[in-house]
Amino acid sequence: MNAAAERMPRARPLPVEERRAAIAQATVPLLVAHGRDVTTRQIAEASGVAEGTLFRVFPDKEAIIDAAVEAFLDPEPFRDAIRRIDPALPLELKVELVLARLQDRFSGIFGVFSSLGMRARPPVAADAGVIIGIVERLLEPDLERLRVPPAKVLGLLRLIAFSSAMPHFGGWTGLDTAELASLVVHGIASGDADSAAASEPASER
């Protein structure tokens, strides 16, 4: 047994599917750093297993990369992050938190896909109604203030997050997430010319 093997802690026994999922998750940040040049040794070290363990649950390195990309695109962790936002928070803060999570999501996608030489694309949820429902519940306390339905709020935030997360594009605006959220909530015009329209509930429009 070589010294590296002696230093490697013995992996806790896991069912095959759990081991596959753990390896896939551990591989995601390695893809951002190394792309397809990531080695199975690096994957094994990040996963806390021996290299031989990798090939007991995956046929080859490409299969590990495919599983890592699939795990990264899974929408459920993102949905859970939105669910954890307290609906009782102020509207502007809720918008900022949703926007920040969307930006993180898109930034990660750009990083993973560019490192693999693939064209990044926005993730499309298998059931868009799920995330819309989550955002509707989050914004329910603020319906009387909204000029558009929560689904359109989400659509606008997705557009802003996608563009602001794009490499070589988002940084030049000089706007951070809090400033973008403030613009979404309050608009760009000052004064009360639109006060009558702003006070009309989205449900009545």
> How does pLDDT run across 43-80, given as a tens digit for each residue?
999 999 999 999 999 999 999 998 998 888 888 989 99
pLDDT digits (tens, 9 = 90+) for 155-189: 999 999 988 887 666 555 668 899 999 999 998 88
**Domain extents in the chain:** 3-72, 74-198
Mean pLDDT of the 185-202 span = 62
Nearest to 142 by CA among 195, 101, 203, 51: 203
Instruction: Give CATH for domain 3-72.
Output: 1.10.357.10
Tell me the percentage of the chain whose pLDDT exceeds 70.
Answer: 77
- CB 122 within 8 Å of CB 162: yes
